[in-house]
Chains A and B, each alone.
Chain A
Amino acid sequence: MIVAGSCVNARLITSTARHRLDIIVVLAQKDFKVRYRNSVLGFFWSLLNPLAYMVILTLVFSFLLRVSIPNFAAWVLIGLLIWRFFSTGTGQGLTTIVGNPSLITKVHVPRYLIVLSNNLANFLGSSLEFLALLPLLILLGVSLTACAMFLPVLLALEFLLIFGVSLFLSSLNVKYRDFYQLWDIALQLGFFLSPIVYDASLIPERFRLLYSLNPVTRLIESARSIFLLDRLPSAFDNTVILSSVAIVLLIGFIIFRRIETGFAEEL
């Protein structure tokens, strides 16, 4: 057991909470900058990527396969943005511990802050993507109503979900680097297990309930509901999302706590 020394230098070293907040801010800033550094288009790539997908998917599904979903372009874009937040958030969250050995072995910083800051940087990036693409949604005929104000709540819930998953994955990835590959496959599977390019009604009746319990599916349906149906997410949506966030965070923290003492030795 280590008894941490109390900070006697009150003038400079402020309270622990303040210190942690400062750490979160500088680490999130760092991750945000690193993400767009060294590329000419920087943040624009974050907009171009979902836009390109939207165009391709609309061409394929709306024109070639003649899927009859009204306003398919807007519909698919909303799903893509929610999915993109989840897949980049967890994909990058997974590598935070392994990718920052000097933060683990050279300095003492509460390890979960490293994961949290990275997730926050992603949260900021994804929120900006939504904000920047709102005009396009309007252009595509989506009428923004008061329901759209619910979007920040949805994104915040998704952020908490991503944080829980990242805690779980980033610590396990220190022990077994296989998780990097595994999660890559899981995400590809997840893309098709969520109603991004097809409507959930295509799922056979007997799998429907199981299928609907996927929190990402609920997030996508909720986002579509507030933008396209002018309706707040249903009680079912909220229940599934909130309980998955709670479960995932709990498991994430338990696993992370258990593995983190060995981080410095494994890296």
Chain B
Amino acid sequence: MVPLPLSTTIHLFVRWIHVLAMAVALGGGALAWGVSHVADAETTLAVARTYEVAFWGALGVLAMTGIGNLGALAPAIPRGRWGVALLAKLGLVLVLLAGSALRSATVRAASDASTPATTVLERGYALTTVALVAVVALAAVMAHG
């Protein structure tokens, strides 16, 4: 077996970490959505608080490794249809960042409330999951055309 060059190994590792972080964000979002739909408020908030910590960690890793993936293409980063998909993805990520800050603030407030708004949390996790699926779809367009 021929060993891979170091740069190739690093870029492969970066892609794996990127995919793993997305699995945490998307899988966790779907789980929190499902739990908030069927469980009581106490369970919903316990899962929500855990997910928020994991989500922001995963999102930081996604941002960091995302730019690592772009760096692997530098200096000839494609434009055209691929570029439109990249800009759409980055725009959606910015919307996701702002929306998720609001979702986390809602979880924080709901944790302190005597009557937490679990329906709002359920909608928040549904939107997060749908937005993350859209990000994955754009990533698939960029990877496979």
- Are both chains from one complex? no
A residues with a Cβ closer than 8 A to B are none
B residues with a Cβ closer than 8 A to A are none
